[in-house]
Amino acid sequence: MGVSMPGHSYRGALPPLSPAQAELQSRLHRHIETLAGTIGERNLHRYSALQAAARYITEVFEELGYQPVAHPYHVRRYRVQNIEAVKPGSPETDEIIVIGAHYDSVRGSPGANDNASGVAALLELARLLRAQPVAREVRFVAFVNEEPPYFYSDAMGSLHYARQAAAQGERIQAMLSFLVQASSTYCPFHSTCA
């Protein structure tokens, strides 16, 4: 079954950014620069960088007024964690929407496109929704270990999260996963973003 978007693709020169859009662009760039540039490659082969990325994400959630929670587990001798920030919904429903992105990168790459850009989008959506009322609880989750050799294995962060939610009988109604591809004109790491 395919999914399509209504409407038409935009053609032509883009209009100038509004001040709010320019500010958003700056924040997105800062997140990508921090994760892919300052921290760089983030995986179990560079464990200290993986932990630095987790700290950065936690700090941003805290700056936004959330109370992030780490969901730790072990892979070999390493303690890794998914990081969750929750936007409460209406008390009339226990339904949950999960919005996620993975913060690890493939070995040998700073991971600007895959997936610092997705984490940047996750953090900024959390910023945009923090003051908005929502009908269902929204959980912003930064997943760990989604890249090889861990994807499709028991070490995947999203699998751990899903199993934990199922064991607790949580009513997750939808999940949106960000894998955002930054354009080479925007990405600060042109050779790694293409």
Question: Closest Cα partner for 95 from 130, 131, 138?
Answer: 138
Query: Which is the catalytic residue, given 41, 84, 137, 146?
Result: 146
- CA–CA separation, 172 and 127 (whole Å): 22
Q: Is 146 a catalytic residue?
A: yes
- C-alpha 154/C-alpha 169 separation (Å) is 20
Cis peptide preceding 88, ω within 30 of 0: no
Pairing of strands 137-143, 171-177: unpaired
Angle at 49 between CA 175 and CA 140, to 5 degrees: 20
Residues involved in catalysis: 146
